[in-house]
């Protein structure tokens, strides 16, 4: 037994010895070989120039300003005269900078393991540097290198589309080696959506250096992949017009102008903010001002704002009734101003307290009769309504090339049970039928849905027209729909803008093109049952007023463009949102967007 133990110890000893010899003589050889290689070779990365973003007419929306960065030689003692004099020479030329802060930056980045010049100032414009350049380059401890900085010439006009870049965080740097070297990343909008393309790819230089870190020769060089531009469908002129229309009327809201194939010509979320505030890091004062604004300028309401659609949902709701096969759209409904369910005394009121009398489908659209949709909804049920509304693009993401898009809500019985642990009530079906209750959509969903009503095709919206050298082609879905009823609905939408009782006739009937559309008023607060005469929107507190909607397409017989407007707390769609759409159509007609004008009057 003792002999076995001795033999075992002896064997283990030789195994450890042989293993150690292997580590020292063979395996560590690779380590020291690489270390020696690094002692004579250095790899310097070349940062790519970020691609520009342009509108459809080649007007710049995101560009790179040319300037310079200032760097100081490493390994200088913080108390050395060389470092103090170098920093003072910088501050003398650029008095806006503080010598104490610059010294703090240097000390933080200085390290015995760092052999590269330390960046002290990230960017100084070309104009500011010109006079100082000859004086600073005399100093052997300074290195001045060319640099670029993102700039947004349109300012707040297209912020929620274009987005902005900002300084990268450690988390960003860990995810992407290009971001790590460039130091900036797309934070919002298209800058974020297409960051991987816009930022390009790193280049590099491999050089041989001496023991004192002086460059001896260049061994290899690879140029960066850069200037990968993005051309949009956006018309900056139209963006400016819409921003002015909201500003002049002191209104907040959203406007979307889209070709029926999905090309977005304009998308405005108002109020907005200047994205240039974020490029070098936003101040706490400016940040607080943005997030404290009750009108939410920081929110991209185009794809993230969720609102009850109100009566703008009625066209698709009617199609859902038809597709379900549970309700006949050929049967009129009688409107006396309200309905009741069974013996319940609660009144579900129409917007017209006097009622609309006998109401066929076309009249229900033209005069926006609520009772027509109340009665049909009770025949169809919420689950079938929701199913078909989803296929028509409501309550689902559009697929637009913007980040952080929300899907909204078109409720079902299962949704409510999961969300609130409560059963569904028939009264909630009635409310949902006119775009109230739990119904929530984004303005872009409504624009997409309107394109579907105009063409029978549900497009995937897109802002980008050309990504580097690749054209973005239109994509569609084609939901099943009853064409006979769809044509009746279109005639009802035509009546909204052109017939004597149309809810948008005053704003839309005198345009140089024929428009079909629908107004909507979505309540923010409920109306008490005891209120016999509805309070005027102008009499209500601002944030209690209803949202005003108007969605449309034109020309009527040959649809080309969709215009959808939301005015937050604007009251009635016909008087508040429709006039904005009318100004947009006039501008587009003047700019010759409508190449073929088709005029057709329906009796």
pLDDT tens digits along 265-307 = 999 999 999 999 888 777 788 888 888 887 889 899 999 999 9
**Residue for token digits 């016909």?**
574
What's the confidence (pLDDT) of residue 23? 66
Q: How far, CA to CA in Å, does 175 sit from each of 169, 194, 322?
A: 10, 16, 50
Q: Beta-carbon neighbour count of residue 574 at 10 Å? A: 26
What gap in Å lies between CA 292 and CA 571, rounded to an integer? 24
- The dihedral of CA 54, 58, 64, 65: what is its sign? negative
Residue 27 DSSP label: I
By percentage, how much of the chain surpasses pLDDT 70? 91
**Residue for token digits 């937050």?**
568
State the pLDDT confidence band at 539, using cuts at 50, 70 and 90.
very low
Residue 598 has pLDDT above 70, yes or no: no
What gap in Å lies between CA 117 and CA 391, rounded to an integer? 58
- Chain centroid, CA 601 distance in Å: 39
Residue length of the chain = 603
Domains of the chain, first to last:
43-59+154-232 (3.90.1310.10), 66-147 (3.30.1390), 236-529+539-590 (3.40.710.10)
User: Given phi > 0 = left and psi -120 to 50 = alpha, else beta, which region is 585?
Assistant: alpha
What's the confidence (pLDDT) of residue 148? 86
**Residue for token digits 């002999």?**
3
Name, in order, each residue with C-beta under 8 angstroms of 217's C-beta and a sequence gap of 6 or more: 207, 208
Residue 393 has pLDDT above 90, yes or no: yes
pLDDT tens digits along 318-348 = 999 999 999 999 999 999 999 999 888 899 9
Global pTM value: 0.86
Beta pairing, strands 203-209 & 41-46? antiparallel
More confident residue, 481 or 527: 481
Residue 521 has pLDDT above 50, yes or no: yes
Q: In what order do the strands lie in the sheet with 41-46?
A: 41-46, 203-209, 215-222
Alpha helix stretches (DSSP H) within 23-154: 28-40, 81-93, 99-109, 126-136
Q: How far, CA to CA in Å, does 53 sit from each of 57, 110, 403, 407?
A: 11, 37, 17, 27
pLDDT tens digits along 541-585 = 656 788 999 999 999 999 999 999 999 999 889 999 999 999 999
Which of 94-108, 199-213, 433-447 has the least mean pLDDT? 199-213
Residue 458 has pLDDT above 60, yes or no: yes
What gap in Å lies between CA 272 and CA 524, rounded to an integer? 23
What gap in Å lies between CA 406 and CA 436, rounded to an integer? 18
Check: CB of residue 96 under 8 Å from CB of residue 102.
no
Residue 513 has pLDDT above 70, yes or no: yes
**Residue for token digits 């934070």?**
187
């Amino acid at each position: 037994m003792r002999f076995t133990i001795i033999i075992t110890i002896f064997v283990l000893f030789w195994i450890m010895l042989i293993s150690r010899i292997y580590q020292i003589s063979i395996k560590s050889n690779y380590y020291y070989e690489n270390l020696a290689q690094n002692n004579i070779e250095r790899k310097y990365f070349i940062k790519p120039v970020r691609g520009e973003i342009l509108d459809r007419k080649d007007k710049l929306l995101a560009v790179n300003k040319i300037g310079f960065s200032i760097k100081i030689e490493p390994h200088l003692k913080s108390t050395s005269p060389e470092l103090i004099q170098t920093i003072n020479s910088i501050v003398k030329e650029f008095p806006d900078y503080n010598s104490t802060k610059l010294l703090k930056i240097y000390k933080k980045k200085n390290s015995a393991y760092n052999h590269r010049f330390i960046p002290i100032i990230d960017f100084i414009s070309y104009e500011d540097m010109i006079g100082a350049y000859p004086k600073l380059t005399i100093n052997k401890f300074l290195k001045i290198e060319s640099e670029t900085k993102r700039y947004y010439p349109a300012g707040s006009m297209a912020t929620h589309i274009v987005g902005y870049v900002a300084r990268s965080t450690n988390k960003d740097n860990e995810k992407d080696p290009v971001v790590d070297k460039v130091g900036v990343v797309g934070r919002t909008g298209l800058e974020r959506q297409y960051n991987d393309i816009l930022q390009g790819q790193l280049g590099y230089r491999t050089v041989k250096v001496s023991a004192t870190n002086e460059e001896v020769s260049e061994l290899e060089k690879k140029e960066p992949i850069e200037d990968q531009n993005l051309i949009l469908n956006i018309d900056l002129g139209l963006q400016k017009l819409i921003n002015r229309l909201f500003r002049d009327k002191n209104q907040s809201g959203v406007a979307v102008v889209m070709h029926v194939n999905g090309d977005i010509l304009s998308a405005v979320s108002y109020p907005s903010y200047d994205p240039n505030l974020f490029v070098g890091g936003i101040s706490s004062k400016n940040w607080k001002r943005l997030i404290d604004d009750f009108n939410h300028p920081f929110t991209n309401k185009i794809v993230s704002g969720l609102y009850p659609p109100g009566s703008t949902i009625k066209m698709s709701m009617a199609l859902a009734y038809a597709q379900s096969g549970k309700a006949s759209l050929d049967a009129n409904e009688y409107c006396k101003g309200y309905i009741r369910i069974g013996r319940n005394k609660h009144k579900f009121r129409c917007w017209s307290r006097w009622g609309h009398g006998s109401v066929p489908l076309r009249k229900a659209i033209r005069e926006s009769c609520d009772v027509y949709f109340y009665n049909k909804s009770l025949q169809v049920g919420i689950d079938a309504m929701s199913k078909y509304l989803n296929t028509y693009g409501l309550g689902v993401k559009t697929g637009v090339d913007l980040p952080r898009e929300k899907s909204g809500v078109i409720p079902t019985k299962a949704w409510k049970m999961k969300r609130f642990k409560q059963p569904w009530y028939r009264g909630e079906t009635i409310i949902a039928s006119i775009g109230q209750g739990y119904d929530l959509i984004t303005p872009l969903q409504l624009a997409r849905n309107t394109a579907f009503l105009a063409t029978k095709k549900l497009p995937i919206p897109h802002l980008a027209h050309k990504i580097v050298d690749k054209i973005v082609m239109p994509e569609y879905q084609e939901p099943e729909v009853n064409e006979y009823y769809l044509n009746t609905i279109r005639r009802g939408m035509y009546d909204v803008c052109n017939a004597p009782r149309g809810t948008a006739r005053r704003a839309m009937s005198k345009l140089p093109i024929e428009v079909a559309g629908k107004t909507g008023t979505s309540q923010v607060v409920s109306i008490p049952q005891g209120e016999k005469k509805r309070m005027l929107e102008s009499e209500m507190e601002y944030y209690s007023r209803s949202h005003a909607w108007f969605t449309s397409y034109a020309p009527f017989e040959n649809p080309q463009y969709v215009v959808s407007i939301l005015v937050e707390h604007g009251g009635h769609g016909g008087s508040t949102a429709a006039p904005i759409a009318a100004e947009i159509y006039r501008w587009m007609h003047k700019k010759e967007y409508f190449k073929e004008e088709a005029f057709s009057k329906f009796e």
